[in-house]
Amino acid sequence: MKNFKIYTLLLVSACIAFSCDEEDKLINDILVENPIPVVQDPTGEPGGLDLSVYVSLGASITAGTKDNALYSHGQATSYPALLAGQFAADGVGGGAFNQPDINSANGYSGVDGTTIQGKYILDLDLNNDGELGDAGVVISEGELPSAYEGDKTMLNNFGVPGIITAQILTPATGGPDVEANPAYNGLYARFASAPGTSSIIKDAWDKDPTFFTLWAGGNDVLGYAASGGADPSRPLTDPATVSAQVNMIVDSLLSKAGHGLILTVPNVLVLPYFQAVPRVISVPEDSRTELLAGIQQINAAIAGWNDAVAGSGMERPLLSTDMNEYPLVIEDASLSDASVPDGSGGTFVIPKVRNIDPDAHSVFGVSELITLTASPKVSAGELGISPLAPLTNQYVLDFTEIAAILTNIQTVNTSMGATAVANAGRIAVLETFGLITEIAVSGGYDTGSYTLAPDFSPNGIYSNDGVHPNARGCAIIANEIIKVLNKPVAEGGFGATIPLLDVMQYNASPFQQ
């Protein structure tokens, strides 16, 4: 493997504390990707379901993206593939489940100059000094995706990385090309039945499904959140629009399938992507004297300004001087314009910066958040430490942006619940918002043998990009779907007895030490 790019993460030294038996299982046994386990002689019953032709629709998690790339092992352990494996248990009646294999061990995550990048790999000893506390991520050599060469009519997984809900419905998603069509998605075009003419929903409908899962709406908020709300090309999609599109998809599929299951939009704000970078740090000793002197000068200017405008509502917050527990400095355009005489006949314009609020507030339940993309900037001391080099908007979600995200998700999820009620007996719902929030708040997911962490350490459930679940996380999602399907009809299920997966038979994301 060739390493093209390295960036340091700030969370991992706090996440690599295992008990001895966990270390044996999670480090020694799973340094390479496990083969997909086969449960011996599972049995069950379908209840009121016909699972003979299962199709899945959604975005990157549905497709099997892990570690920021679509690669073969990630696809093979997608939650729909794992779910279909359980549907194929004796007595359950599931049929074949085919995916558009990318045929690449490292896959494709992007291009940096002329370098094609593959999956992210966690290096537990990035400095090669025998210490696990300096962990970081390296990016493997990848491959450009090629057209799917299998029989497209036999496909069951119609998950496409990067799409928003609208793109499930439009032929533009598959063609003709990115220059002529901004909605073009090459990862759908590679397996579309007729690129530029067919749509994801039509390809799935043509499969004549008897059962479907739909996980939509996530990217309609995630793009906005991941950009810190600062990228005008990645807005929040209007929730009424998303809700209408979900209903169109469900109505179309129910015209063929007897039953389906909707996964609600998850709470994206508890993903490691928004939780991994600490909001409060200990400033390195060799930086403290100069930093403190600069902060004191700015604070003196702020104090002078506050005296001049006292009671006007234009006051500015003083900056922290606590070098041991130092909240990172962020840009805040909403602060008032402020300036004071500089003592030499000129004017000192006080920068619009403040310390990030590290405390959770009951109205939102979360703090202001920093995106994972800020990690290398903070680690190198380039941004977030000095008031003259704050974390800019694209790296931060403030409370206004957080409120907009959560309101959007709640509105869409409420509509999904109404869709299920309107199709009672045919549509079930998995509430993923509550599921991943509970895992994050409680500190992990209890498998019965181990408690898996809500992060991308080797004992975590997320992949190395901080967004997509790893194979274990996908097994958890598949199990939670099965639990819903196994509920009695009166409780929103279908009375099935589909066997569950053993989560610990699946590997963490790739790492090395």
Three-state DSSP string of 88-106? CCECCCCCCCCCCCCCCCC
- What is the pLDDT, as a whole number, of residue 428? 98
DSSP classification of residue 422: H
Mean confidence (pLDDT) of the chain: 90
Q: What percent of the chain has pLDDT over 90?
A: 81
The pLDDT score that the predictor gives to residue 39 is 58
Task: Report the percent of the chain where pLDDT is more than 70.
Answer: 89
Rounded to whole angstroms, the Cα distance separating 474 from 58 reads 14
pLDDT score of 1 more than 70 = no
State how far the alpha carbon of 91 is from the alpha carbons of 83, 95, 296, in Å: 15, 11, 72
What is the C-alpha to C-alpha distance for residues 367 and 161, in angstroms, rounded to an integer?
29
Q: Are 222 and 269 in contact (CB under 8 A)?
A: no
pLDDT computed for residue 119 by the predictor: 96
- Rounded to 5°, the CA angle 420-423-427 comes to 55
pLDDT at residue 269 greater than cutoff 90: yes
Condensed to tens digits (0 to 9), the pLDDT of residues 470-505 reads 999 999 999 999 999 999 999 999 999 999 999 999
Q: Is the pLDDT of residue 132 over 70?
A: no
Structure tokens at 98: 């085919």
> Tokens 């799973």 sit at which residue?
30
Between 70 and 511, the higher pLDDT residue = 70
Q: Between 219-226 and 399-422, two packed helices, what is the crossing angle to 10 degrees? A: 170
pLDDT reading at 453 higher than 60: yes
Candidate from 100-114, 133-147, 312-326, 449-463 with smallest mean pLDDT: 133-147
User: How large is the average pLDDT for residues 45-73?
Assistant: 97
Say which range, 127-136, 184-193, 199-208, 358-367, has the weakest mean pLDDT. 127-136
**Of 13-27, 62-76, 112-126, 397-411, minimum mean pLDDT range:** 13-27
1-15, 52-66, 142-156, 283-297: which range is least confident on average?
1-15
Q: CA–CA separation, 23 vs 25, rounded Å?
A: 5
Mean pLDDT of the region 93-98: 97
Confidence tier at 349 by pLDDT (50, 70, 90): very high
Q: From CA 33, how far away is CA 72, in angstroms rounded?
A: 11
User: What tokens were used for 287?
Assistant: 């930086």
Distance, in Å, from the CA atom of 446 to the CA atom of 452, rounded to the nearest integer, reads 6
Q: Cα–Cα distance between 352 and 341 in angstroms, integer?
A: 17
The answer, yes or no, to whether residue 235 has pLDDT greater than 50, is yes
